[in-house]
Amino acid sequence: MRLWSLHPKYLDRVGLVALWREGLLARKVLEGKTKGYKKHPQLERFSNYPNKIKAIDSYLFHVYKEAFARNYSFDLSKIQDFEEDIKIPISFGQIRYEFSHLQKKLKDRDRKKYLHNQSMSENLANEIFTINEDILDPESWEKRAE
C-alpha cells in the first residue's frame, strides 16, 4: 500500500488509479472493516488525526479532484466525511523521498510524465498535508528501499 503524500498531479494514470483504490482500502482498514493492514505504517498519519475517517476522506477528496480534472470517473459517493481545509503535518524529507521514489517508477513506466515532473520547480504535497520545511528526513513510518 502506498498512500502518496505528494500532490496527485505528479502521478501518471496508473499511479492515480492505484492511489484511489488503495486509499479506499485504507478507509476500510481505518473503519475496522478488514482483517489485514491494520498496522500498516502508511496509515499512521491518518490514525493519529482526531477523526481518522474525516482525514482519509479529505485525503481521498483531493485525489478525486485530480481525477476529475483529468476526466476520470471516480465515484465520489465512496467517501462522505471530507473537508477541504484539514491539515496534517508532513516533513519536507518525506515529500523529497516520495518524489524521488515516484520518479524512479515513472522513468520506465511513463517517460512523458517523468520528464514533465522533472521540469517542475517544487514538490507539492496532497492538499491535506502541510510541509514542515525544517525536517529533512522522511517520516518515521516510511519504509525506505535502501
Report residue 9 as a C-alpha cell.
498531479
- Phi, psi (rounded to 5 degrees) for 97: -60, -45
pLDDT of residue 85: 85
pLDDT digits over 66-97, tens only? 999 999 999 999 999 898 889 999 999 999 99
What pTM was computed for the model?
0.94
Whether 16 and 4 have beta carbons less than 8 Å apart is answered as: no
26: pLDDT confidence band, cut at 50, 70 and 90?
Answer: very high
Report residue 59 as a C-alpha cell.
485525503
What is the share, in percent, of the chain residues with pLDDT greater than 70?
Answer: 99
CA–CA distance, 27 with 24 (Å, rounded to integer): 5
Domains of the chain: which residue ranges?
8-132
1 vs 15, more confident: 15
